[in-house]
Amino acid sequence: MHRSASRLTRVLACAAVPVILTVAGCSSDSGKDTGSKGEKTSGSSSSAKPNPKSSKTLEKATFAALPDPCKALQAPTIETLVPEVKDKNGQAPKSNDVATRTSCAWNGLDADGLKGSQFRWLSLSFFRYDSDAALGSANKRAEEQYNKEIETAKSEEGAQAPKAEAVAGIGDQATSVIYTVKKDVDSFNTSIVARAQNVVVRLDYNGAAYEGAGAPDHAKLLQDAITAAKEAVTSVDAANKAPAEQPQSPQPQ
């Protein structure tokens, strides 16, 4: 009778073990679920925080206006680069958008009797850009146009062996492109492309000789073009100064 009672006690004790383990297991799983739910809630609130990059504003364009391209170069400069210029005031296309794109051109034929004639053609163009959330900052857009103008100058129709070189002292960056175009006569072409902040300046200067005249001095054409390009870039800064900041002409005595 004593043995039967002891065996019954052990059986009941063993039977109780799975119940305790089961309860402990359910309690442990419940804790994990709660923790998991807590982690998900925390992650959700973290991802809802605003992205600081999305609210970043682009810098304001440095230059808000362009100069009149037909007045950007001084009269003595025009007369030096284009002797016997046909129209000192230049010719501007009707499509000029004075806020973003403008251009002007001059040409002249300097005839010297039996010594032949010298032809010169000068063109000046300005491109201005504003910052745009979809397209980028004003300076970045101007730099893209700067590179585009250089490639355009190098790929002009008939251009032979175009050579591009950096030019110091003009705006933030500048490049010269020189090449020859061979047709009835050899035309020596020079392009200066410069960038001043959010404005791009392109100056094209070409020379050709006719009726036995000596060929233009390409080195001089390049130097004259660089001088004119510096003047054109300076005109951009002047066009954006307040009237009080504009240089005053000397008053007659």
Structural domain boundaries of the chain? 75-241
Contacts of 58 (CB under 8 A, 6+ apart): 131, 132, 133, 136, 137, 138
How confident is the model over 10-38, as pLDDT tens digits?
433 444 444 333 333 444 444 444 444 44
CATH 3.40.1000 fits 75-241, yes or no: yes
The verdict on pTM exceeding 0.75 is: no
Strands 186-196, 159-166: pairing is unpaired
CA atoms within 13 A on the CB side of 58: 17
Q: Are 92 and 70 in contact (CB under 8 A)?
A: yes
Contacts of 189 (CB under 8 A, 6+ apart): 156, 159, 178, 179, 180, 181, 204, 205, 206
pLDDT at residue 246, rounded to an integer = 53
Instruction: With residue 227 as reference, give the H or E element that holds it.
Output: helix 218-239
Rounded percentage of the chain residues whose pLDDT exceeds 70: 74
In this model, does residue 214 exceed pLDDT 90?
Answer: no
